[in-house]
């Protein structure tokens, strides 16, 4: 990770750690950098944003930087991260920019840069952007006269993305009562029209963004809102997205949460049965539940693990040609259809599996037993010092030995926050709490914990 860019772009509190000057400089660099690859010096870059109040400010700053360097900026306006990835590939943009802090609170924001192939941008380009921001790479010339770029409306790109999603469904959703939690985010402008077009009886909550209510006690990180909604309205299924709709967490007909691991099991098993799962392999991250792995093995499926981040999941999938991968948090990638996690697309694939199988989601997901899991974010002053501390490492090894094959412990530094995450899976909640507490207590006794 760099000084500004983490595992998911340049993220921070708006106008505190990520300000308008940063956004302007990112635009200046990208407009110039990609312009060098064209004879006329003119790059073509598409921008999308979520519903945060600061997203409009950053959109203007990025656009100003791009056109000042001679690039043309195409504005998708409020849209999802996967729609930006789709449009980049569809219309041969040099790159795409998504203004979003995903599942974070409204006062945070971020700049995600998507390559011309629809993937997260290469780290080497992020390093060059950082060098420019810090004044280590010299000045970039301003475009003049007819070389100054233009800002153009590109809402048609979002409409084409909606059409693409609708085209993926091979079965009607008629008579299915589907609940959607839009998290007061990007999916508010897209999701309902997709499900309506496919014939569903669509019931929507948290689709009235006001700039400050994105992810506020709703969406994929606060699934209880959708769980209650599904039960109260006797719905067949529910789907919750995060702020930029690259995640999806489902709720079955009984109001039970169906997270990313369970979605990968349900869809992976169906794909294997129909010869659609390359090498019968699912790509996961180290955060996936041990219960998923046991269920995959039982069904004759293999799995691979990557570090946390859908970027790394897709890199593995792309290198090996795998069809399905994702994260417990709901970033699910169906490589036949997309290059990134896509919450709405994931919903469609779950519906396809359910309808084709003629079974409820509750029935399908019940085959995979998810082990109790506890994740604690320990706030620390120095993440590296924690990971290298001998007593912390010894406590982790002791826990691994005692858990054996019926559980696991994972300790890792966050890529975006000053915390170390301690995660334990075991046969019971009490065991999870015991080992998480033991390791966290060693961190505290070593003087590594703050607050």
Q: What is the arithmetic mean of pLDDT over 345-372?
A: 97
One CATH from 3.30.70.20, 3.40.50.460, 3.40.120.10, 3.30.470.20 for 169-365: 3.40.120.10
Edge-to-edge strands, sheet with 419-425: 373-379, 419-425, 408-413
Secondary structure (3-state) at 16: coil
Residues in CB range of 119: below 8 A, 6 or more apart: 85, 311, 314, 315, 318, 339, 340
Name the residue ranges covered by the structural domains of the chain: 5-158, 169-365, 373-445
pLDDT > 90: percent of the chain = 94
Instruction: Give pTM, 2 decimals.
Output: 0.91
Q: How confident is the model at residue 1 (pLDDT cuts 50, 70, 90)?
A: low
The domain made up of 5-158 has a fold known as Alpha-D-Glucose-1,6-Bisphosphate; Chain A, domain 3 (3.40.120)
pLDDT of residue 112: 97
* Segment (H or E) for 177: strand 177-181
Q: Is 102 annotated as a binding residue?
A: yes
How far does CA 196 lie from the centroid of its chain? 24
Q: What is the arithmetic mean of pLDDT over 239-255?
A: 98
Looking at every residue in the chain, the average pLDDT score rounds to: 96
Known catalytic membership, residue 102: yes
The domain made up of 373-445 has a fold known as TATA-Binding Protein (3.30.310)
* Segment (H or E) for 400: helix 390-403
Q: Is 246 annotated as a binding residue?
A: yes
Residue 122 CB-density burial (10 A; 0-12 exposed, 13-18 middle, 19+ buried): exposed
Q: Is 124 annotated as a binding residue?
A: no
Q: Which of these, 373, 397, 381, 374, lies nearest to 443 by C-alpha position?
A: 381
* DSSP code of residue 175: T
Torsion 171-174-180-182 (CA) sign = positive
Please pick, among 54, 63, 83, 102, the residue that the annotation labels catalytic. 102
Q: Is 122 annotated as a binding residue?
A: no
pLDDT of residue 6: 85
How does pLDDT run across 70-122, given as a tens digit for each residue? 999 999 999 999 999 999 999 999 999 999 999 999 999 999 999 999 988 99
Torsion 274-277-280-283 (CA) sign = negative
Domains 169-365 and 373-445 share a fold: no
Task: Tell me if 10 sits within 8 A of 4, measured CB to CB.
Answer: yes
How does pLDDT run across 417-438, given as a tens digit for each residue? 889 999 999 999 999 999 999 9
Q: What is the arithmetic mean of pLDDT over 291-314?
A: 94
The residue assigned the tokens 């037993």 is 369
Task: Tell me if 116 sits within 8 A of 122, measured CB to CB.
Answer: no
């Amino acid at each position: 990770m760099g000084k500004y860019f983490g595992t998911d772009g340049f993220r921070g509190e708006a106008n505190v750690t990520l300000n308008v000057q940063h956004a302007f400089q990112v635009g200046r660099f990208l407009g110039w950098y990609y312009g060098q690859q064209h004879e006329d010096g003119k790059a073509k870059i598409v921008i999308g944003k979520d519903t945060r109040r600061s997203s409009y400010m950053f959109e203007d700053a990025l656009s100003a930087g791009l056109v000042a360097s001679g690039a043309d900026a195409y504005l998708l306006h409020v849209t999802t991260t996967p729609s930006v990835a789709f449009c980049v590939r569809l219309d041969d943009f040099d790159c795409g920019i998504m203004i979003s802090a995903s599942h974070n609170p409204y006062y945070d924001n971020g700049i995600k840069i998507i390559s011309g192939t629809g993937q997260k941008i290469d780290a080497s380009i992020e390093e060059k952007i950082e060098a420019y921001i810090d004044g280590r790479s010299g000045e970039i010339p301003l475009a003049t006269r007819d070389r100054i770029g233009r800002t153009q409306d590109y809402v048609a790109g979002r409409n084409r993305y909606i059409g693409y999603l609708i085209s993926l469904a091979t079965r009607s959703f008629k008579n299915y009562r589907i609940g959607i939690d839009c998290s007061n985010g990007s999916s508010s402008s897209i999701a309902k029209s997709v499900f309506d077009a496919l014939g569903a009886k669509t019931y929507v909550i948290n689709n009235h963004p006001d700039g400050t209510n994105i992810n506020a006690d709703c969406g994929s990180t606060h699934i209880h809102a959708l769980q209650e909604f599904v039960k109260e309205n006797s719905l067949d299924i529910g789907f919750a997205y995060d702020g930029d709709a690259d995640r999806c967490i489902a709720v079955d007909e009984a109001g039970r949460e169906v997270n990313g691991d369970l979605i990968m099991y349900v869809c992976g098993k169906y794909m294997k049965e129909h010869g659609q799962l390359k090498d019968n392999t699912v790509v996961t991250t180290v955060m996936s539940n041990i219960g998923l792995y046991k269920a995959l093995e039982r069904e004759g499926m293999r799995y691979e693990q990557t570090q946390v981040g859908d970027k790394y999941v897709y890199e593995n999938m792309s290198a090996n040609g795998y069809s399905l991968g994702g994260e417990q948090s709901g970033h699910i990638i169906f490589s036949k259809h997309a290059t990134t996690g896509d919450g709405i697309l994931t919903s469609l694939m779950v519906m396809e599996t359910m309808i084709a199988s003629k079974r409820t989601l509750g029935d399908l997901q019940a085959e995979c037993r998810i082990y109790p899991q506890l994740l604690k974010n320990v706030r620390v002053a120095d993440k590296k010092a924690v990971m290298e501390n001998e007593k912390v490492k010894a406590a982790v090894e002791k826990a691994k030995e005692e858990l054996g094959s019926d559980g696991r412990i994972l300790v890792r530094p966050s890529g975006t926050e000053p915390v170390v995450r301690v995660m334990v899976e075991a046969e019971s909640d009490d065991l999870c709490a015991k080992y998480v507490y033991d390791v966290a207590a060693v961190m505290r006794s070593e003087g590594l914990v703050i607050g």
